[in-house]
Chains A and B, each alone.
Chain A
Amino acid sequence: MKTYCLEVSGDFACFTRPEMKVERVSYDVITPSAARAVFEAVLWKPAIQWRITRIEVMKPICWINLRRNEVGAIISLRNVQTAMKDGSGDLGLYIEDERQQRAGLFLRDVAYRIYAHFEMRDAAPHKSHHPHLSKRVINDPDEQRAANAENVPAKFLNMFERRATKGQCVNQPYLGCREFAAHFRLIENPSSEPPPIAETRDLGWMLYDMDYSNPTNPNPCFFHAEMKNGVLDLSNVEVCR
Chain B
Amino acid sequence: MTLKNRYDFVLLFDVKDGNPNGDPDAGNLPRVDAETGHGLVTDVSLKRKVRNFIGLVKAEQPPFEIYVKEKAVLNNQNKRAYVGIGKAELLEGDSKKRKGGDAVEEARQWMCRNFYDVRAFGAVMSTDINCGQVRGPVQLTFARSIDPIVALEHAITRMAVATEAEAEKQSGDNRTMGRKFTIPYGLYMAHGFVSSFLAGQTGFGEDDLELLWQALAQMFEHDRSAARGEMATRGLYVFRHDSELGNAPAYSLFERIRPELKEGVTAPRSFEDYQIKVSETDLPSGVTLERKA
Interface residues of A (CB under 8 A from B): 11-12, 62, 64-71, 74-77, 80-81, 83-96, 101, 103, 108, 129-133, 163, 166-172, 174, 178-181, 183-185, 215-218
Interface residue tally for chain B (C-beta within 8 Å)? 73
Give chain B interface residues in 21-69, CB to chain A under 8 Å: 23-25, 31, 33-35, 40, 42-44, 65-69
Do B108 and A132 have beta carbons less than 8 Å apart? yes
**20 additional A-B residue pairs with CB within 8 Å, beyond A77-B126, A80-B125:** A11-B141, A11-B144, A64-B33, A64-B34, A68-B42, A71-B68, A75-B67, A92-B65, A92-B74, A94-B69, A95-B68, A96-B70, A130-B131, A170-B195, A171-B198, A172-B195, A172-B250, A183-B250, A185-B249, A218-B130
B243 at interface (Cβ–Cβ under 8 A)? yes
B-side contacts of A91, CB under 8 Å? 65, 67, 114-115
Interface residues of B (CB under 8 A from A): 8, 23-25, 31, 33-35, 40, 42-44, 65-71, 74, 77, 79-83, 87, 90-91, 94, 101, 103-108, 110-111, 114-115, 118, 123-127, 129-132, 135, 137, 139-142, 144, 191, 193, 195, 197-198, 201, 243, 245-252
Do B105 and A90 have beta carbons less than 8 Å apart? no
B-side contacts of A218, CB under 8 Å? 130
The distance from the CB of B13 to the nearest CB of chain A, in whole angstroms, is: 17
Closest 3 CB pairs of A and B: A167-B249, A168-B245, A67-B25
B-side contacts of A178, CB under 8 Å? 139
B-side contacts of A95, CB under 8 Å? 68-71
A-side contacts of B8, CB under 8 Å? 172
The distance from the CB of A229 to the nearest CB of chain B, in whole angstroms, is: 25
